[in-house]
C-alpha cells in the first residue's frame, strides 16, 4: 500500500495564526515529483515535491482577519486546516520568566484570569528539544491553543498580557509562539557558527557532540538521583507506619520542637542539613467557614514539599521557586481543629520557609494567618543530592532544536525575557545577547526584525557594601544592547521582589513591552515607551551632569529627593551621592568626592532606594557611567 503523500509541519494545523501583510510559507513532506496544490482565500498555489521529499509554498500577502480554512491536496489526498486567523505573530524567547504560565499569577490577577475569553489570541508551544549535532529541520509536535477557559492558564503570562494590550488597541488577532525554557543562558539560543567566536564555549561545544557522553551522563545522574530519593523515603520514619504516619491526625506530635515560620536555617545548626524535616500547624475553623474549598498559601519552600491537610495530601512541589498555593477540598474541612503538615525535602540549598511571603489559609473570603509557631521534627538525614546536568542549558542545543526549525515562519517581532542564568558571568553578556539578536534575524531572514526585551528585575537582598553586583552589571549590559537598531528594553526594577526569582506582576511587564511595540512595530508617534535612559555625562568642577533620553514629559522624582545615586573619585570607591533634577539633566555630587569620575544608579542586585521616573510613570534604567 502506498504511504500517505502529505505531511505538514506541526505548526501548520487547526487554529494557527498567519502573519498579516506578509507572505507566509506553508511546508511539509511528500513523495518526490508529486504535485501539491493549496487552496487559500479563493487562490490556488501549486508546487512539486523535491527529491529530498520536502515541499513549500509561499502565499501572497494576507490581510488581517479570519477564521478561514486552507485545503492542501496531493492527487486524491486532501487535508483541510480549519480556524486559521491572520494577524500578528510574535515569537516568545528566553527562560523561566517568559515561560512562567498565567496560572502562576493567580494571586494578583485571579478575577481577571477567570474572565479571559479571547479566541483571537492564541499560543503555540514549541516542544523542548535540543540537538548538538546539527540544526533540526522541523518541529516534532505542538498544538495551537486559544486564550479561553483552562487553556489560557498555560499561556506565557508575559506573552498573554502583551497580546491583550496589543489586541485591545488594534483589534488584530495575535499569535504567540513560545520557545522559552527555564534556566537557559543566552548561549543556548545561539547557532554554533556564531558561538565559535567565543572561545570559552569551545570545549563544551565539542563535549556535547558526543552522544554517548550525553546518554551516559543522563543515565548515571538519573540513577543516582532515584537512589537518593529512594534512600530518603526508606530512611524517613515519618513514612514508615502506614497506620500512623507523621502526616496523620492521630500521630502524637507533642514531643516535636517549636519553630517560628517563616524562617531560614542560615546561621543555625541546620544550615548544612540535607534530608527531610516535618512541620505541623493547627488551625481553628468555625462552622460558617466550612462551606467551600479553601486555599492554603505557604509562601515559597526551599527546596521541595509535600503538604497534607487533615491527613490528606493536598499539594506538592519538587523545587524551590514556585509559590505554594494549594486547594483544600471542602470534604477535608471541618468545624474546630484542622491540621496542616508539611514534609520539607532539603536536597542542596539552605532550608527555608521564605520570609516576606504570604502564609495563610483562606476560605469564603476569610484569611486565617498560619505564620508564627509551628512544630517540627527531623525525618531523615542525607548527603546533598548528586549534581544533575541540564543539557538544555548547554550552548547551541535549543537553538538547533527549537529556533532553526521555525525558520520558515515570518514573525512580526520577538519578545525576550532572559539573563538570570548569565549573572554568574555577566561580562560578555552584551556580545552574546547581540549574537542572539543577529542569529534570530538571520534565521528569519529579516535584518530589521524587532527585538523587544526585558531587563532583569530586582532580586536578592541588597547589601550596602556590595557595589560590584553581578545583577547590576548584567542590567547595564542589557541597557547597552539598545544601541542595536529596532530594539527596545523594558525596565523592571520596580516590579520584582528580593526573595522571588519569578515576580508575579507579568501584566505590567507585558504592558511595557506593548509600549515598545506600539513605537517600533506599529509606528505610533509621541508614545513614551521607556523611562529615562542614561546617554552621556559631563564633569563640571566637583559635579557630574547626567543627560538622558526617553524623558517623556519630564523627570519625575517619587519622593522628597532623588535617591539611588552613588559617585566615585579616581580611587574607584563609590559612596552615596546627592542628586538633583534640573530642566534637562541630573546633577550628582558629594562632599566626600572632590574630583568625581563616575556615577552609578540603582547599582545593586535588588536596589531598595531608587525613585527616578518620567512623568509617564516609567522607571529609569540602572546604569553606570564608567
DSSP collapsed to 3 states, 609-620: CCCEEECCCCEC
pLDDT mean across residues, the chain:
95
With a CB cutoff of 8 Å and minimum separation 6, the contacts of 211 are 133
With a CB cutoff of 8 Å and minimum separation 6, the contacts of 43 are 60
Between the CA of residue 578 and those of 253, 330, 590, 596, what are the distances in Å?
57, 57, 6, 12
Closest CA to 194 of 396, 428, 57: 396
The alpha carbon torsion through 16, 21, 27, 33 (nearest 10 deg) reads 140
Options 1.10.10.10, 2.60.120.1570, 3.30.465.10, 2.60.120.260; which CATH number does 235-381 get?
2.60.120.260
Specify the DSSP class assigned to residue 458.
Answer: P
Which residues are registered as beta bridge partners of 131?
none
What whole-number distance in Å separates Cα of residue 207 and Cα of residue 215? 12
pLDDT at 47: 97
Longest dimension (CA), the chain: 89
pLDDT at 465: 43
Which residues are registered as beta bridge partners of 557?
612
The three-state secondary structure class of 403 is helix
- How far, in whole angstroms, is CA 324 from its chain's centroid? 18
What whole-number distance in Å separates Cα of residue 36 and Cα of residue 70? 13
The three-state secondary structure class of 253 is coil
Q: Are 7 and 140 in contact (CB under 8 A)?
A: no
**Cell numbers found for residue 193:** 557558527
The alpha carbon torsion through 556, 557, 562, 568 (nearest 10 deg) reads -30
What whole-number distance in Å separates Cα of residue 126 and Cα of residue 92? 10
Residues of the chain with pLDDT under 70: 1-4, 461-467
pLDDT at 241: 79
Closest CA to 397 of 129, 583, 591, 162: 129
CA 211-214-220 angle, 5° bins: 135
Closest CA to 439 of 208, 205, 201, 192: 192
Q: Are 516 and 455 in contact (CB under 8 A)?
A: no
Which residues are registered as beta bridge partners of 537?
546
pLDDT at 5: 78
Q: Are 525 and 538 in contact (CB under 8 A)?
A: no
What whole-number distance in Å separates Cα of residue 28 and Cα of residue 25? 10
What whole-number distance in Å separates Cα of residue 481 and Cα of residue 414? 15
**Cell numbers found for residue 319:** 523545587
Closest CA to 232 of 117, 359, 318: 318
The three-state secondary structure class of 294 is strand
Beta strands at 77-94 and 65-74: parallel, antiparallel or unpaired: antiparallel
pLDDT at 76: 87
On the CB side of 209, how many CA atoms lie within 13 Å of its CA?
A: 10
* Helix spans in 115-186 (H): 157-170
Q: Which residue has the cell 512595530?
A: 521
Which residues of 352-478 form beta strands (DSSP E)? 352-353, 359-363, 366-369, 372-381, 413-417, 451-454
Cβ neighbourhood burial of 1 (10 Å; 0-12, 13-18, 19+): exposed
Backbone angles phi, psi at 117, to 5 degrees: -155, 75
Beta strands at 77-94 and 17-19: parallel, antiparallel or unpaired: parallel
With a CB cutoff of 8 Å and minimum separation 6, the contacts of 382 are 228, 231, 232, 235, 274, 275, 276, 347
Cis peptide before 67 (omega within 30 of 0): yes
Options 3.40.50.1110, 3.40.1350.10, 3.10.290.10, 2.40.110.10; which CATH number does 90-174+397-524 get?
3.40.50.1110
CATH architecture label of 1-87: Sandwich (2.60)
Cβ neighbourhood burial of 242 (10 Å; 0-12, 13-18, 19+): exposed
What whole-number distance in Å separates Cα of residue 254 and Cα of residue 252? 6
DSSP string covering 276-341:
EEEEEEEEEE-GGGTTS-EEEEE--EESEEEEEETTEEEEEESSSSS--EEEE-GGG--SEEEEEE
- How far, in whole angstroms, is CA 489 from its chain's centroid? 15
The three-state secondary structure class of 215 is helix
Q: Are 94 and 126 in contact (CB under 8 A)?
A: no
Q: Which residue has the cell 502529505?
A: 6
Amino acid at each position: 500500500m502506498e504511504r500517505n503523500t502529505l505531511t505538514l509541519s506541526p505548526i501548520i494545523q487547526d487554529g494557527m495564526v498567519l502573519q498579516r501583510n506578509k507572505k507566509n510559507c506553508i511546508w511539509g513532506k511528500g513523495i518526490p515529483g508529486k504535485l501539491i496544490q493549496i487552496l487559500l482565500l479563493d487562490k490556488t498555489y501549486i508546487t512539486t515535491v523535491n527529491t529530498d521529499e520536502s515541499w513549500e509554498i509561499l502565499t501572497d500577502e494576507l490581510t488581517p482577519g479570519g477564521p478561514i480554512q486552507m485545503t492542501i491536496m496531493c492527487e486524491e489526498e486532501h487535508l483541510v486546516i480549519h480556524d486559521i486567523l491572520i494577524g500578528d505573530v510574535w515569537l516568545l524567547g528566553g527562560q523561566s520568566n517568559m515561560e512562567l504560565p498565567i496560572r502562576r499569577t493567580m494571586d494578583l490577577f485571579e478575577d481577571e484570569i477567570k474572565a479571559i475569553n479571547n479566541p483571537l489570541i492564541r499560543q503555540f508551544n514549541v516542544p523542548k528539544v535540543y540537538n548538538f549535532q546539527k540544526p533540526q529541520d522541523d518541529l516534532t509536535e505542538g498544538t495551537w491553543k486559544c486564550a479561553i477557559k483552562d487553556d489560557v492558564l498555560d499561556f506565557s503570562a508575559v506573552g498573554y498580557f502583551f497580546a491583550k494590550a496589543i489586541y485591545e488597541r488594534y483589534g488584530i488577532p495575535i499569535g504567540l509562539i513560545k520557545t522559552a525554557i527555564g534556566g537557559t543562558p543566552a548561549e543556548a539560543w545561539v547557532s554554533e557558527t556564531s558561538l565559535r567566536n567565543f572561545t570559552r564555549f569551545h570545549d563544551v561545544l565539542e563535549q556535547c557532540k558526543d552522544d554517548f557522553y550525553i546518554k551516559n551522563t543522563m543515565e548515571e545522574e538519573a540513577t543516582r538521583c532515584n537512589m537518593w530519593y529512594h534512600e530518603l523515603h526508606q530512611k524517613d520514619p515519618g513514612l514508615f507506619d502506614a497506620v500512623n504516619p507523621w502526616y496523620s491526625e492521630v500521630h502524637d506530635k507533642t514531643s516535636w520542637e517549636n519553630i517560628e515560620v517563616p524562617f531560614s536555617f542560615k546561621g543555625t545548626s541546620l544550615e548544612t542539613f540535607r534530608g527531610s524535616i516535618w512541620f505541623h500547624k493547627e488551625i481553628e475553623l468555625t462552622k460558617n467557614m466550612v462551606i467551600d474549598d479553601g486555599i492554603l498559601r505557604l509562601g515559597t519552600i526551599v527546596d521541595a514539599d509535600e503538604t497534607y491537610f487533615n491527613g490528606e495530601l493536598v499539594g506538592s512541589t519538587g523545587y524551590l521557586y514556585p509559590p505554594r498555593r494549594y486547594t483544600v477540598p471542602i470534604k477535608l474541612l471541618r468545624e474546630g481543629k484542622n491540621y496542616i503538615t508539611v514534609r520539607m525535602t532539603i536536597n542542596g540549598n539552605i532550608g527555608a520557609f521564605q520570609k516576606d511571603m504570604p502564609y495563610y489559609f483562606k476560605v469564603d473570603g476569610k484569611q486565617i494567618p498560619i505564620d508564627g509557631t509551628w512544630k517540627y521534627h527531623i525525618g531523615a538525614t542525607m548527603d546533598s543530592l548528586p549534581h544533575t546536568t541540564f543539557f538544555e542549558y548547554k550552548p547551541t542545543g535549543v537553538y538547533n532544536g527549537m529556533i532553526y526549525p521555525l525558520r520558515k515562519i515570518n514573525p512580526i517581532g520577538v519578545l525576550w525575557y532572559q539573563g538570570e542564568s548569565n549573572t554568574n558571568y555577566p561580562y560578555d553578556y552584551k556580545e552574546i545577547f547581540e549574537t542572539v539578536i543577529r542569529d534570530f534575524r538571520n534565521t528569519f531572514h529579516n535584518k530589521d526584525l524587532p527585538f523587544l526585551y526585558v531587563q532583569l528585575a530586582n532580586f536578592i537582598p541588597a547589601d550596602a557594601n556590595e557595589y560590584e553586583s553581578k545583577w547590576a552589571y548584567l542590567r547595564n549590559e542589557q541597557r547597552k544592547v539598545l544601541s542595536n537598531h529596532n530594539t527596545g528594553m523594558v525596565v523592571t526594577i520596580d516590579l520584582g521582589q528580593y526573595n522571588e526569582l519569578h515576580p508575579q506582576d507579568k501584566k505590567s511587564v507585558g504592558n511595557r513591552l506593548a509600549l515598545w511595540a506600539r513605537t517600533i512595530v506599529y509606528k505610533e508617534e509621541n508614545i513614551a515607551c521607556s523611562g529615562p535612559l542614561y546617554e552621556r555625562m559631563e564633569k563640571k568642577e566637583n559635579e557630574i551632569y547626567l543627560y538622558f533620553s526617553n524623558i517623556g514629559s519630564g523627570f519625575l522624582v517619587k519622593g522628597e529627593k532623588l535617591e539611588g545615586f552613588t559617585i566615585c573619585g579616581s580611587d574607584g570607591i563609590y559612596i552615596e551621592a546627592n542628586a538633583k533634577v534640573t530642566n534637562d539633566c541630573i546633577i550628582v555630587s558629594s562632599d566626600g568626592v572632590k574630583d568625581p569620575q563616575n556615577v552609578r544608579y540603582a547599582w545593586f542586585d535588588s536596589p531598595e532606594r531608587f525613585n527616578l521616573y518620567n512623568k509617564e510613570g516609567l522607571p529609569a534604567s540602572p546604569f553606570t557611567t564608567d
